[in-house]
Structure formats: C-alpha cells, structure tokens
Amino acid sequence: MATSTSPADNASTPEASRQAQGQYRNHVPVKREGFRKTLRIIWNMIFHKPRDTRPSTPVPVQTLTQAALIAAPNHSVYRLGHSTVLLKLRDKFWITDPVFAERASPVQWAGPKRFHQPPISLEDLPPIEAVILSHDHYDHLDYQAVLKLADKTQYFLTPLGVGDTLIKWGIDASKIRQLDWWQSTEVGGLQFVATPSQHFSGRGLFDSNSTLWASWVMIDGDTRIFFSGDSGYFDGFKRIGEQYGPFDLTLMETGAYNVEWPHVHMQPEQTLQAHIDLKGRWLLPIHNGTFDLSMHTWYEPFDRILALAWERSVSITTPQMGEAFNVMYPQRGRPWWLGLDGVSDPMVPQNA
C-alpha cells in the first residue's frame, strides 16, 4: 500500500478509522438496511420515480478551454458536474472525484445517465497536480477517467484502500498517497487532511466497506477549502470545524438524498447545518445537477438549499457547470435552473 502521510495537527485527539472483520466502520454505527427494504428501494427507484427527476430541456454549461484555465487567476473554482470540481491554486490544478462517464454505473449501457456533457473533456484538461478522491462509489470513482488522467496527474490522494484499487488498475504506486482519517500530506505547497465522513463504500456485491471513505480539508496558506465527499449528518463536521475552520469555501453534498437513507446522505437542512458547524463562509452545493440518483426532482436540491441559506443569511453560490467562482472575490451566481422545465422561483409566491 503506497502512502506518504503525516499526522494532522493535534491528531491524537480525534479518532482514526477503525476496522472490524476487514470492514471499515463509521464512528457512530449506521443502521444497515435489510434485504427486503433494499429490494423495495430498488423497486421504487426503477418503477415508481416521479416526474422531473431528469431535466427535459438542456442544462446550461459554460464550455472551458485549457488556454482559458491556464490564464485564469488563482483561487478559481469550477464545477464540472456532480462532485467533480476543478480548482486552480498556486498556479496548479486540482480535481475532486473526477467522473466524466456517460453513466454513473458499472456498465455504460444502463444506469443513471448524465444530464449534460462536462464543460471540458479529459483530454483538454491542463496537467493536474493531484486528484482528490472521497470514496469508491461509481458516481465518484470513474475507472476510465482515472486511466486517462494517469499520465497528466502527479498524485492521487485517496482514503485507505482506494489507492490499492488504483494500483490494481495500473496506476503507478509512487503517485498514490493513501490517508486514514486525520492524517495529512503536503503536495505542491498545499496541505491536505483526510477527515471523517459518515458513509460507506463498495463497487460490487462482495467488497462492502473494504475501503475507507473521507472528506477533505485543503489548506493553501491562509485559504481553507472543505470538500465533503458523501456523508450523512454527524458531529464530525463540528469537530472538523473546530480543528481546521473557518473555511473560506465548503463544497457540500446537496442532492441524491432520500428519507429512506438518512444516515449516509444529508437533507438540505442538514447540509446547511454542516456548513455552519464547519464555520464556513461561502457554501457551494455539489452532488446535484448531473445524475438522477434519487426520487426528488432534479432541481429540488437547488431550490431547498438556496431558500434555507437565505433564511439563515448564509452566503451561498450556485454557479453553472463550467462557470468560474473565485474564492478571493466571491459572488452568488445566478439561479440558472429557474425557467428550465418551467421551474419557478421558490421564493416568489405562484400568484405573485
């Protein structure tokens, strides 16, 4: 197992991950659904989805070019889709959970299909200093994307075990740094800390929780960015905020939630509270707008988190896919989903 890590500051206080019988565990036990409930959830996802879980009109995308990215200022942040975010820091590029596949699925002839094309192709991306991976689910770890990024990427930062998967795929072990919760590593002048999340892992029937899941703290001098990966709401957000906050920007899971799986994905109200726990300054909701992974309408996560942020006076930004957001000069962006498929402003009464 390739590693290059050092303990995070005060790492003796927080707990590292733990294994039992070869499986990683959350700090607080998460209820595992029984076979009958799992079968019912799958049945409903296939046969009883409501309308508008996918947009019927094109999702707006701002096309990116390599030349424009290279000319962009530092601290620029771009959503490429779902939880894939490209960041420019210290004149280098960093990317989270790069998924460019047409479907978030083990096969490309079935499964959740993209709403939109990525703003830039894998081939046109500039050289990547590090790929930051949160866990091994198909909507976060894309086999073909990893292989295509291998030659232009200096490092792959992963939770424990995920790096071993990359090595099996043929990625050079010297490029991989695997971290336990609360461990840190330095790449290109930035510090990265693998922090806990409350989730699970697995890419098949027989590898449940055999690899770790994580959120990530990114520290660039005085600038701090948090990437949530996937997580249910738990007290870990407050601990991360106490240890590493305040954060200039939080990239927070806001989508593909369901009352049937409350422990591993957050409702928008919990996303907002997690951002507050982290002592976040600006919230950028991710994990939405690209794949149909739950039962809610495709635009509901945007509507709900925007309304909640306004109610709590939380600074929130909702850039289009491919639209630049600068951490040093933040702006709210436009609610670009309004008007698509007849979506109306949730803050305006329908009879207004």
Report yes or no: 290 and 81 within 8 Å, Cβ to Cβ: yes
What is the DSSP-derived secondary structure letter of residue 192?
E
13 part of a folded domain: no
Report the b/e string of 231-250 with b at 16+ CB within 10 A. Answer: bbbbebbbbbbebbbebbbb
48 part of a folded domain: no
Identity of the residue numbered 96: T
DSSP per residue over 318-347, as a string? -PPBT-EEESSS------TTTTGGG---TT
Range of the domain at 232: 57-342
33 part of a folded domain: no
39 part of a folded domain: no
Report yes or no: 169 and 147 within 8 Å, Cβ to Cβ: yes
CB atoms within 10 A of CB 70: 12
Half-sphere exposure of 165 (CA within 13 A, CB side): 25
- Number of domains observed in the structure of the chain: 1
Specify the 3-state DSSP secondary structure of 167: helix
- Length of the chain counted residue by residue: 352
251 part of a folded domain: yes
State the CATH number of the domain containing residue 133.
3.60.15.10
What whole-number distance in Å separates Cα of residue 249 and Cα of residue 218? 10
25 part of a folded domain: no
| pTM for the structure as a whole | 0.94
Exposed, middle or buried: residue 31 (CB in 10 Å: 0-12, 13-18, 19+)? exposed
Question: pLDDT 10s per residue in the chain (352 long)?
Answer: 555 555 555 444 578 888 888 899 998 888 766 556 556 666 566 656 778 999 999 999 999 999 999 999 999 999 999 999 999 999 999 999 999 999 999 999 988 999 999 999 999 999 999 999 999 999 999 999 999 999 999 999 999 999 999 999 999 999 999 999 999 999 999 999 999 999 999 999 889 999 999 999 999 999 999 999 999 999 999 999 999 999 999 999 999 999 988 999 999 999 999 999 999 999 999 999 999 999 999 999 999 999 999 999 999 999 999 999 999 999 998 999 998 977 777 655 444 3
